[in-house]
Amino acid sequence: MASIPALFDLTGRTALITGGSRGLGKEMAMAFAEAGADLMIASRSLESCSETAAEISAATGRRVIPYACHVGRWNELDELAAAAWDQLGGVDILVNNAGKSPLYDHIANVNEQLWDSVIGLNLKGPFRLSALLGTKMYERGKTEGRRSSIINISSIAAIHPTPDVIPYTAAKAGLNAMTIGFAQTFGPHVRVNCIMPGSFRTDISKAWNWDLVDQAMKRVALRRVGEPHEIVGAALFLAGDAGAYTTGAVFTVDGGVPT
């Protein structure tokens, strides 16, 4: 068996993290670089990705490439996948993290544009990127024995749907199901898993009603929201050899939300 530090070592590996400029994505990017990986981080804002890439590079000495892409647009994903594969020299880890959950005042006011954009970013984008990069990962695993991992960032909203984010809960539930399907598609060479975060203090949380959140936290086992860095342990486990026998798994990092 590999040494314990080796189980979490990503030296010589490469990762593409969507939504890697802020929030949970940035924390995972920093952690993967600290563990030795070179990265590409992609979001809509090249400026924001460039700032984060420079910060992570300065802190870790790893190569971090910024890339501008709207992950909800099918026709931008071929280019993103090709750029990541070419510029990183192959991709070992894909983290489908970019996501959003716009609120609405009434279900009847959810229009087609909102529906399409939520499904596009949270479900269609991860599908297309996994299909493109997973196929390449699979082929490289078969020919070179390279170990690859896809990590989807879903949400506990997938299993605890609330009235204010129904399109989002549907997209994330789809992402959970897709995780299991892709694990079967790309096994045994690519592992595909999903993390369902609970409430984390990121930019998303700025729009929350904190009186309601504090009330909800009374039912959560750890009695508080998560801090962004607390996603990192699960992501490192799934990215590297520590998770070598884990695939098709969908699990919570939510401080203990009751079922």
Ligand X SMILES: NC(=O)c1ccc[n+]([C@@H]2O[C@H](COP(=O)([O-])OP(=O)(O)OC[C@H]3O[C@@H](n4cnc5c(N)ncnc54)[C@H](OP(=O)(O)O)[C@@H]3O)[C@@H](O)[C@H]2O)c1
- Please give the residue ranges that form the binding site for ligand X (CB under 6 A): 18-19, 21-25, 43-45, 48, 69-72, 97-101, 121, 153, 155, 197, 199-200, 202-205
Helix axes 74-88, 125-144, angle to 10 degrees: 30
Separation between Cα atoms, residue 231 and residue 214, nearest integer Å: 20
Q: Which of 104, 138, 168, 245 is catalytic?
A: 168
Task: Output 2 or 82, the one with its CB closest to ligand X.
Answer: 82
Separation between Cα atoms, residue 23 and residue 19, nearest integer Å: 8
- CB burial readout 85-103, b (16+ within 10 A) else e: beebebbbbbbbbbbebee
List alpha helices for the chain, DSSP H: 4-7, 23-34, 46-60, 74-88, 112-119, 125-144, 166-186, 210-217, 232-239
Is residue 243 a contact partner of residue 192, using CB atoms and an 8 Å limit? no
Task: Output 70 or 146, the one with its CB closest to ligand X.
Answer: 70
Nearest approach, Cβ of 209 to ligand X (angstroms)? Answer: 14
Task: Output 146 or 201, the one with its CB closest to ligand X.
Answer: 201
Task: Output 14 or 18, the one with its CB closest to ligand X.
Answer: 18
Task: Output 26 or 140, the one with its CB closest to ligand X.
Answer: 26
Nearest approach, Cβ of 49 to ligand X (angstroms)? Answer: 7
Mode of pairing for the β-strands spanning 64-68 and 93-96: unpaired
Selection from 240, 255, 234 nearest residue 97 by Cα: 234
User: Among all chains, which residue has been given the structure tokens 């594969």?
Assistant: 85
Amino acid (one-letter) located at 211: D
Is residue 100 a contact partner of residue 123, using CB atoms and an 8 Å limit? no
Nearest approach, Cβ of 245 to ligand X (angstroms)? Answer: 25
67 is catalytic: no
Nearest approach, Cβ of 111 to ligand X (angstroms)? Answer: 18
User: Could you list the active site residues?
Assistant: 168
